Structure 1
Amino acid sequence: MRIANLAGRLVLVTAGGAVDIDEASGGRFGPDPSAVYREWDAFVAWAASAPLPAGRTFDEASLGAPVTEPGQVFAIGLNYRGHAAESGVEVPVEPPVFTKFRTSLTGPRGDLELPTDTVDWEAELVVVIGREARRVAAEDAWAYVAGLTLGQDYSERTRQLVAPAPQFSLAKSFPGFSPIGPVVVTPDELADPMDLEIGCAVNGEQVQKARTSDLVFSVPELVERLSAVLPLQPGDLIFTGTPGGVGGGRSPQRFLRVGEEVSTWAEGIGELRQRCVPGTPYTTASAS
């Protein structure tokens, strides 16, 4: 299945277009794009047997974030060897974890407001949890995953690395800094959900390209390690980390500028597009 948020309503994207789930199910499943993950098993069973109507054509500009209200958003740092190397650190032995606050979530297309001149890109595979997961072994982890989507972990590097205590979560949670989409794809739709090409281009220049099989900690390992500490809830998101090629890792460093377009893609999932526009200027307290 390919699940999306079309103008605020839960839809299935089929070869014929978008099927409104509330209408097709006679109200059994409502229009809220996030609520379906709390009834995931029932929804999967219904979708497998329901006689779905023909889909309607739709404008991709009307797609919103396919998960709008996750209870928890996890983000993993340094999860590709290339990114660890360009960051000047060792490959971690445990996944470094932070959060992206959910008010930063947005849809797959739109404007990205730049609050400073040190905003960076980070293409990421994003996991959507479909069942409560507590102390789940890696070999069982896919059973707890509803699907995969694509994300950008936009990062304001000055705030992220401010002394004396870095502020990863705040620096990565400005409005619009967490676009996801365009759809959530169930693992069975993908030839190999553990080996997808992912990449990013700025104004047509490819800046990142990797395969998710290069992750230091795979999707099953992340589910295992996170669920060993706390329960993962239906609808939670896991940003799995970014490959090498970020602007802050270049020499000289290169950050996003007003007027540039960022295109992010993942094999079998789709594409995100953001146009960089001026934002409300932000200055850290230490620099004011």
Structure 2
Amino acid sequence: MARGVLSFPLTSFHDDGSLDPDGFRAHVADRIATGPGALFPACGTGEFFSLDEDEYRTVVTTAVEEAAGRLPVVAGTGYGWAQALRFARIAEEAGADALLVLPHYLVAAPQEGLVRQVERIAAGTRLPLIAYQRGQVAFTADSLRRIAALPNVIGLKDGHSDLDRLQRLTLAAPEDFLFFNGAATAEIQARAYAAVGVPAYSSAVHAFAPEIADAFFTALRNADHKTVDRLLRGFYVPLVELRDRRPGYAVSLVKAAARLRGGPVGPVRAPLTDPSAADLADLKNLLAAGLDLVGASL
């Protein structure tokens, strides 16, 4: 998976909020055509939190069909372990290759509880699991050793950006354990993550501008720091500043940018809201500038 950008596709909805399976299929096919390292449907960017089980089945099944074995499909699952296993069974039936275990809902928990949550999910599915630490989930090195010892727990996605803690986790893990940079707008911190042995990262930008995402990935892989800095200054940092204007923009701005490029993704579902007219105008200008940096057009 470290050989290409990790793609987190959007889930397409009609204007009335209902699922748009045809739009999603087209969106996924377009993402796959750009050659990502893996596909992660029904995760945070894909609004997993707003999908019911039937919709989830449609989304994961469609992603598996479009991938057709060409790249791994890692479906999201989450909430409490009992509900997570309901989604896991659906993902198994749909043919997913692995699961990304999203942070559990609402409550803070001690390390023993975090470990038991992963243990219960791992015991109830045959699929490989990647744990996602973000929000109220943050593993210690001892806890990571325990979950990494489970036969089907293969990796950890990190969204905390605590590099001291992350370095301790990488040193505590087995040599073949996978680590992913899952920070919001992960490209901003990609060099820092790579320095502690975590080169793979998720890219929300790939959902609407694979030209930019791929150009950044290639520059980073080739240690082309001039290009990395140019893309950070001219696109990624301004994008983060725009994202931080309103809660939920980490998803709704991505969806709005995809719509600006003609993507059949539709609006976000509540509790998220689409960008304001002023923010949408700024997004359009920024997107055009970012595409210009890589020789592409809106």
Q: What is the TM-score normalised by the length of structure 2?
A: 0.22
Higher strand residue share = 1
Q: What is the TM-score normalised by the length of structure 1?
A: 0.23
Structure with larger RCO (C-alpha < 8 A, sep 6+): 1
